[in-house]
Chain A
Amino acid sequence: MPKINPFIVFILKRLGIMVLSFFVASTIMFLLPRIIPGNPLAVKVYQILQQSASNPEMIKSVEKMLMDYFKLDRPLYEQYFDFLINLLHGDLGKSITYFPRTVNEIVAMYLPWTLALLVPAIIASWIVGNYVGVIAAMNRGKAVDKVLLPLLAALQGTPAYVFGMYLVLLAVATKWFPASGAYSPTAIPSLSWSFIVDYLHHYILPFLSIFLTSLGGWGLSMRNIAIQELSMDYMDYARVIGISPRKTQSYLFRLSALPQIVGLAIVLGWSVAGSIITEIIFAYPGIGTALWSAIQAQDYMLIQGYFVILIGTILLANFISEIIFAVVDPRVRYAYAGE
C-alpha cells in the first residue's frame, strides 16, 4: 500500500472528527426544543397562530402553512430528516417571531457588526498581549515585570462587560464618546465618510472594553509560556553559543507563540457568539443583541440557527487552529502522524 503523506492523514482525521462533532451537536440542538416535555417549539408556533388569525378560515390556512413548514404533526424522524437535508443546503429555517423571514436573513443583518467589532479587537489584543507577555517574561523579577504582571492580571480578571460598564459611565460623565449604539440614531449605514467617522466614534468604547480585557489574558498566558521556554536547554545554549539577544527574543516568540495561535483560532471562533453582555451594554446591534432578543422571545428556530452557526464556526476554528499548529510546529506533525 503506497505511503500516504502523514500530514494528509492527519488533516483527514481531524476533518472527519469535525464533521462528526458538528452533526452530533446540531442533532442535539434540533432535539432539545422538540422533545422537552411540553414541546416548546410547538407551543411557540401555535402562539403565532393565535396572533395572526382573527377569523377561523385564516386560522385554517395559516395553520396549514405553518404545519407544512414546521411539520410538527409529522413523526420526529421525518422532521429530523428534513432538518438535515435543509442543513446540507444551508437552509437554517425560518424565524418564528419574524416569520416568514429566514434565519439566514436575520443573521446576515447582525453578524457583520459583531465581527467588525470583535475580530479586530481580538487580533489586536493578541498581538499586543503576546508582545507584552514576552517582555514581561524576559524581564522577570525586574521593574518592568513588577508593573506589567499585576496590570495584566487586573485586566484579565475584569470581565469585558464590567469594564464596559465603567466605560459607559465615563462616556456619560465626560460626553467624549457616545454611550450606546453603533451609530447615531439619525445616521443611515452607508459607505460615506461621515458615516464611517460616526461609526468609529461609537466604536471606540466597545472596542476598548474587549481589547483591554482580552489583552490581559493573552499577556499572562504568553508570559507563562515564555518563562517556561526560557528555562529550556536550547535557550540556555543559544546564550552560551553567543546568539544575540534580539535573535534569542525572536526564537522565544516563535516557540511561545505556538500555543497562543491555537488559542487565537479558538477565541476567534467563539467571537461569533458575540460578547453578548458587552453588546447589550453598549446597545450595539450585533448578533449578541439579536440572540438575546431571540431568547427572550423564545424563538427556537432563531436560537437553533444561531447555535448551529456558532457550533460550526467554533469547530471550524478549532480545526484550523490544529492545522496551523501542525504547520508551524513540525514536532506536532510527526507526533500526530505517528499515532
Chain B
Amino acid sequence: MGYVVETIDLRAYYMLRRGSVKAVDGVNLKIGEREIVGVVGESGCGKSTLSRVLALDFIPPLKLVGGKIIIDGEDVTSIPISEARKRIAGTKISLIPQSAMNAIIPVTRVKDYIADVVKEKTGLPREKIVDMARKRFEEIGLPPIALDMYPFELSGGMRQRVLIALATLLNPSLLIADEPTSALDVSTQKMVLTTLYNVFKMGLTKSIMFITHDIATVRQIATRIVVMYAGKIVEDGPTEDLIHNPFHPYSKALMFSILTPEPEVRKRVEQTGGIAGEPPSLINPPPGCRFHPRCPYAMDVCRREEPPMIEVEKGRFVACWLYAKK
C-alpha cells in the first residue's frame, strides 16, 4: 500500500531581504491511505507553510529550496511546478486554508462558484456540476438551499462546511484543512468536526491532514499526531499513545498547557504547565536542537547537534537526544 503523500527532507523558505525564514526545514512526513494526521504546534512553527507546500502553492517569497514531494507515487518536485499544480490541485490534494471565512468570491452564488471551480478541472456542464454538488450537500448534511445563496448569507459554520464539500467534490487523495474550526463557536466547531469526520468515513477523501494549535480538537478525529516546532517535526505517533505518554519535552509541555475541564487536566495544572520563553526566530534558529533554549532537560549535545528522528517504539518517532544514543 503506497503513501498518499511522502516528503523527503523537504525544505521551503520565505526568501526575505533580511534573511530566509526557514519555515519548513527538513521535514520527512509520510501520510498513508485512510489516515487522519493532526499536525500541531505553536504559531510560527511552520505547519501552515507545510500545508501550502504540499499543495504546491509557492507564492513568492515562499520558495521550494530542497527535498522531494511524492504524491500518489509520483515525484511532483521533478516536473515544473505549474504543471504539477494543474495535475494535483483539487483532484489529488485539496487545501482549505486558514481564514476560509472569506474564501468564496462574495459576489457569486455558492452554486455558481462551485461550478466555476469544477468546470475548470473537469469540463463537465454546469447543470451536472450543480447536481453533483446538491447530492454531496445532502450526503454530508448541508441544506441544498445553501447552493442558491451568497456566501455572506451563510453562517461561519455553514461556510466552512460548504468549503469541505467543495474541496472533496472531486474525491481527492488528501484533504488538508488548516485551522478549520478556530474562528467558530464551540458548538459549531463540533458540527464542522463531525462533517470532516463523516467525509472521511464516507471515503470522499482518502486521508486528511488537519493543522491546528488546538490539540483537544484535532485528537477527536486524528489517528496520528505530528508535532512541529520551528520548522521541524519533533514527534510523530498514534494519537492515544502520544497524548497519554508524550516523549519529546516539547510535546509534554504542549500537552500540559491544555486547559480543558477534565479531572486529569485538573490534577496536573496545579503543579506545572506552560513553557517559558517564546518560539525561536526562523531566520536564525538556534544551533543544534531548536528547542534547547526552552528545554528543561537540555544537555550539551543538544546545543551542538540536531537530534535525528528515531523510532523509539513501533510507530512512535521522536527527534530528541534523550532517546537517541550518542
Contacts and interface: CB of A to CB of B under 8 A. Distances in A.
The short answer to whether A and B are in direct contact, CB under 8 Å, is: yes
Interface of A: 232-234, 236-244, 247, 251, 254-255, 258, 328-331, 334
B156 to A, nearest CB: 13
Given A233-B101, A236-B97, A243 B107 contact: no
A122 to B, nearest CB: 25
Closest 7 CB pairs of A and B: A242-B89, A233-B102, A237-B103, A234-B105, A242-B90, A233-B99, A251-B105
Given A242-B85, A242-B117, A328-B107, 9 more contacts: A232-B102, A241-B94, A242-B120, A242-B121, A243-B116, A251-B105, A251-B108, A330-B152, A331-B107
Give the interface residue-count category, chain B: 20 to 34
A244 B105 contact: no
A328 B95 CA distance: 30
Contacts of B97: 233, 236-237, 240
Contacts of B268: none
Contact of B57 (A240, A247, A330): A240
B99 A243 contact: no
B106 A241 contact: no
Interface in B77-96: 85-86, 89-90, 94-95
B196 to A, nearest CB: 17
Which of A234, A244, A251 gathers the greatest number of chain B CB atoms within 10 Å?
A234
B184 interface: no
18 contacts: A232-B102, A233-B101, A233-B103, A236-B97, A240-B55, A240-B95, A241-B95, A241-B117, A241-B166, A242-B90, A242-B117, A243-B116, A251-B105, A255-B105, A328-B107, A330-B107, A330-B150, A331-B106
Nearest to A329: B107
Contacts of B166: 241
A278 B120 CA distance: 49
Contacts of B95: 240-241
A331 B57 CA distance: 30
Given A240-B55, A242-B89, A331-B152, A234 B103 contact: yes
A234 B101 CA distance: 9
Nearest to B153: A334
Nearest to B87: A242
Interface in B96-134: 97, 99-108, 116-117, 120-121
Contacts, number: 63
Contacts of A244: 120
A241 B90 contact: yes
Nearest to B88: A242
A247 B89 CA distance: 16
A33 B261 CA distance: 79
A331 B94 CA distance: 29
Interface string B32-64: 000000000000000000000001010100000
Contacts of B102: 232-234
Q: Is the interface of A mostly helix, strand, loop or mixed?
A: helix
Contacts of B85: 242
Nearest to A237: B103
A238 B105 contact: yes
A240 B85 CA distance: 9
B150 to A, nearest CB: 5
A233 B90 CA distance: 18
A241 B175 CA distance: 12
B57 A234 contact: no
A6 to B, nearest CB: 13
Contacts of A240: 55, 57, 89, 95, 97
A237 B106 contact: no
A311 to B, nearest CB: 33
Contacts of A255: 105-107
A329 B150 CA distance: 11
Nearest to B103: A237
B254 to A, nearest CB: 28
A239 B107 CA distance: 17
Contacts of B116: 243, 247
A15 to B, nearest CB: 25
B57 A239 contact: yes
Nearest to B90: A242
Given A237-B97, A330-B150, A331-B152, A243 B106 contact: no
Interface in B265-320: none
A334 B107 CA distance: 13
Contacts of A247: 116, 120
A239 B117 CA distance: 10
Nearest to A333: B150
B99 to A, nearest CB: 5
Contacts of A331: 106-107, 150, 152
Nearest to B150: A330
A112 B106 CA distance: 40
B211 to A, nearest CB: 14
A236 B51 CA distance: 14
A234 to B, nearest CB: 5
Contacts of A241: 89-90, 94-95, 117, 166-167
Contacts of A232: 102
A254 B166 CA distance: 22
